Structure 1
Amino acid sequence: MDSLFYYLTALILWTGLVLKVPALRRHRHDHALRALCAVVLLAGISFTLSAPASVTTVNRLAGVPNIAAPLVYASVTAFSAACLIVIIYWRGGDPDRVGRIVRSWMIAYATVIACLWVLFALGDAPVERRVDLDTYYANTPYIGEMITLYLLAHLVAAITTTTLCWRWSRQVTGWTHKALVLLVLGWLCNAVFGVVKLAAVMGRWTGHHWDSLSSNFAPGVAAIAAALVTAGYALPLIGPRIETIALYTRLGPLFRLLVDPADRQQWVPLAWRSIGNTHLRLVHRQTGIRDGITRLGPHLDDRVREDACKRALSSGVSLPQAQAIGTAAMVAVAARAGAPDPRLPDASLPRSTRIWRT
């Protein structure tokens, strides 16, 4: 497969990492966030090192044929461990217990990585294989064991992470549930990647040639898995922001109806650092809407609301929708009726207005 595919995938992953750097600086002691950034970083490194052009470059610079192989395997193994650790941190629990579990997985996978290098050093792989090393050296002493160990470690992480995410997804809702569904799909793809690679290796053990599974099919599955996993880890972070932007946009017509442009000029502008703060901008807009409704107090008529609510109910909508329609109609009619007299005291306002002001 062309190296450009690998580099583009890595670029997409690292773009997401760059977007998380500000949050990482603000919350540098957040273990879950640090592990998440490690996931994206290691995924990009894995794809970059796996590119055929990178394999050739690494082998040439090191002067050792196929030394790129244990380097790629080590990065993928570290990526698998980091993904598992993120899920452990996300689930939370007793800090001491979480810390022990994380340390045990880190020690286990660090041991696997060390064994990969030892097996490579003990083996003999003189012929450079940029794409099909897994199958070409499947029967070579020590090198074959290195390949098998790498694939088994990857499969263990994939199956464990998929199981944890699936169980947890049945206990939560909202953005966390959506994220876990993506992670389940992503890690299922990672498991497929491991199974396909292992099948190609086992094919060589039994005298078959299924090399295309490892060289052509598996990289595409890995790219899909990386995209799904990255999206799954990012969704709980960007999901609420998307929700805030959507609500801010939906409130735009009501804001323009209730807030006069001349009044907006008297507002204290947001600081330039707050321009990208979607939550603060939403609060700003909601405050303007509440103030606008308060000014419409003398014109808010409960009869308009009740009549609109009854009509909505008669048309077949649900009670909550009918109540929302009634309130919207009352505000719209009041807005067309004109601005209130600012000299009116709060006690003279209709009951519906006092509710809005609380």
Structure 2
Amino acid sequence: MKDLLHPISLVVAMLGFLCLLRDVPTRRKDPASTALAAVFLLSGLSFLLSITPMWNYLDRMLGTVNISVPLAQGCVVALLACQQVVLTYWGSPPEVARQWSRRWLGAGFAVIAGLLVLFALLTPRAPHPIDFTLYYAHDDWYAAYLTLYVTAYTIGELFLANACWRLARRSTRGSVRVGLRIVALGATVTLGYSAVRIGNVIAGAFDTSLAEWEGFAWTCGDVGAMLTLIGWLVPTISDQAQSVQYRIKQYRSYYGLRSLWLAFYSEAPEIELPIDRVDLAQRRRFRRISIRLYRRAIEIRDGRFVIRQYLDAAVREASEAHHRARGLHGQELSAAVTADQTLAGIAARAEGTRPAPDQLTEFADSERQTSRPMDDIDALLDVARHLPRQPARAPHLERVSA
């Protein structure tokens, strides 16, 4: 059972670690993110070290029989401490969180040291990657070893389940609430593993065995661990999904503004911001879609400024009457009128004809409120959607993006 479930759990842990690793460089000053990444890495290592081929390989390489036991279980103790660090930073002020984090990590290292000492007192015999606990169940030193490990494991899972349920009730983010409840469920399931291991200690004292419960123990341990890892991933996956959606929206907005940008560029190519003097490192930054979209919006605003002095009030009035008759109103009306004003202003500039001073006007959407950067982009996109399809243009009018 162990060699069937552990590889699946290992894959889940490593995928989660890779998913979190993407955000670690940008959150170097966030101890909770670092601790959460450590949880997935340590979890993956604990599963990897317990798989029979790796168990036998480490015995040969390190020359110590069953060395995978304290290594894998040391990783489990460390990840339990790291989980408490994550919850402490999520639920407490930074000063309090730092103090409690040191205590949790200190307790974890103390338990690991105790496990190593007790393991060293065991009589080394043949490797037992499958039935290690059953084989040593009658050894007094192993009873002490298992008691220490199961006590730390059980306390860690109980604290984890309780803290997650408590934080889930307080959280205002839906993904965090769902994730924490899944973590709490996983921690609860792992208590089945604890119960069997406690039973191993008691059975050893009475010269009996719980061999028939080994499958149940490993199932509870692995299924609970997978649920815990999945629960930790839910908020991260939600954030990254929103990030991907935002990035897709930026790309669609960038190409959606192309027709409006070309309309201005065809008459006023000077609006294009030069980057030929920018160094190579800065040019790489200019390739980012966020920078390219921001740059395109600025150039369109510059184009609007260029033709502003060619806006005729008569054009605006006629356009408003026409689009009102079509049933447009509100922001859609102002966007459609602005599109007509843009084309008329560009044509007037090309002909060199300006309206009389008393006939000058503003763009119809000039009073539209935009509190966020993407609000401004949305306003420009509304105008672009009301432009007629652009005819094929000469190559010199096509912009070569950085």
TM-score (norm 2): 0.66
Counterpart position of 1:111: 110
| CA apart distance, 1:271 | 7.0
Alpha-carbon distance change, 287 to 356 in structure 1, aligned in 2, over 3 angstroms: farther
237-246 vs 266-275, greater mean Cα deviation:
266-275
Asked whether the equivalents of residues 119 and 143 of structure 1 are also in contact (C-alpha less than 8 Å), the reply is yes
Asked whether the equivalents of residues 248 and 282 of structure 1 are also in contact (C-alpha less than 8 Å), the reply is no
Counterpart position of 1:80: 80
Uncovered stretches (5+) of structure 1, i.e. residues with no partner? 307-326
Alpha-carbon distance change, 224 to 346 in structure 1, aligned in 2, over 3 angstroms: farther
Asked whether the equivalents of residues 45 and 75 of structure 2 are also in contact (C-alpha less than 8 Å), the reply is yes
Asked whether the equivalents of residues 13 and 230 of structure 1 are also in contact (C-alpha less than 8 Å), the reply is yes
Cα distance between partner residues in 2 of 1:40 and 1:202: 32
**Superimposed CA distance per residue, residues 165-200 of structure 1 (whole angstroms, 9 cap, x where no aligned partner):** 111111112232222122212222333332233334
Counterpart position of 2:199: 199
Cα distance between partner residues in 1 of 2:286 and 2:5: 38
Cα distance between partner residues in 2 of 1:105 and 1:159: 14
Equivalent residue runs for 1:41-190 within 5 Å: 41-95=41-95, 97-174=96-173, 175-190=175-190
Cα distance between partner residues in 1 of 2:163 and 2:199: 25
Return the letter of the residue paired with 1:104: R
Cα distance between partner residues in 2 of 1:59 and 1:167: 43
Secondary structure of the structure 1 residue equivalent to 2:367? helix
Cα distance between partner residues in 2 of 1:121 and 1:200: 20
| CA apart distance, 1:94 | 4.4
Return the letter of the residue paired with 1:51: I
Cα distance between partner residues in 1 of 2:176 and 2:134: 39
155-164 vs 197-206, greater mean Cα deviation:
197-206
162-171 vs 127-136, greater mean Cα deviation:
127-136
Return the letter of the residue paired with 1:169: A
TM-score (norm 1): 0.73
Asked whether the equivalents of residues 323 and 337 of structure 2 are also in contact (C-alpha less than 8 Å), the reply is no
Counterpart position of 1:354: 367
337-346 vs 237-246, greater mean Cα deviation:
337-346
Counterpart position of 1:21: 21
Return the letter of the residue paired with 2:142: I
Alpha-carbon distance change, 335 to 11 in structure 1, aligned in 2, over 3 angstroms: same
| CA apart distance, 1:151 | 1.1
Asked whether the equivalents of residues 335 and 364 of structure 2 are also in contact (C-alpha less than 8 Å), the reply is no
Counterpart position of 1:317: none
Which structure is larger by alpha-carbon Rg, 1 or 2? 2
Return the letter of the residue paired with 2:29: H
Asked whether the equivalents of residues 300 and 334 of structure 1 are also in contact (C-alpha less than 8 Å), the reply is no
Counterpart position of 1:229: 228
Cα distance between partner residues in 2 of 1:60 and 1:348: 79
Alpha-carbon distance change, 335 to 158 in structure 1, aligned in 2, over 3 angstroms: same
Cα distance between partner residues in 2 of 1:106 and 1:129: 30
Return the letter of the residue paired with 1:209: S
Cα distance between partner residues in 1 of 2:127 and 2:232: 36
Secondary structure of the structure 2 residue equivalent to 1:170? helix
Counterpart position of 2:383: none
Asked whether the equivalents of residues 135 and 211 of structure 1 are also in contact (C-alpha less than 8 Å), the reply is yes
**Superimposed CA distance per residue, residues 250-272 of structure 1 (whole angstroms, 9 cap, x where no aligned partner):** 8999x69x946533666889976
Q: CA RMSD in A?
A: 4.1
Cα distance between partner residues in 2 of 1:82 and 1:45: 14
**Superimposed CA distance per residue, residues 57-94 of structure 1 (whole angstroms, 9 cap, x where no aligned partner):** 22233333223222222121111111111111222314
Alpha-carbon distance change, 158 to 345 in structure 1, aligned in 2, over 3 angstroms: farther
How many residue pairs get aligned? The number is: 324
Cα distance between partner residues in 2 of 1:18 and 1:339: 46
Alpha-carbon distance change, 346 to 128 in structure 1, aligned in 2, over 3 angstroms: farther
| CA apart distance, 1:237 | 3.1
Asked whether the equivalents of residues 66 and 128 of structure 1 are also in contact (C-alpha less than 8 Å), the reply is yes
Asked whether the equivalents of residues 197 and 213 of structure 1 are also in contact (C-alpha less than 8 Å), the reply is no
| CA apart distance, 1:45 | 0.6
Cα distance between partner residues in 2 of 1:224 and 1:145: 26
**Superimposed CA distance per residue, residues 89-143 of structure 1 (whole angstroms, 9 cap, x where no aligned partner):** 2223141x22221111122221111111111222325243212222321221111
**Identical-residue share of aligned pairs (%):** 22
Cα distance between partner residues in 2 of 1:348 and 1:222: 66
Return the letter of the residue paired with 1:36: L
Alpha-carbon distance change, 274 to 5 in structure 1, aligned in 2, over 3 angstroms: farther
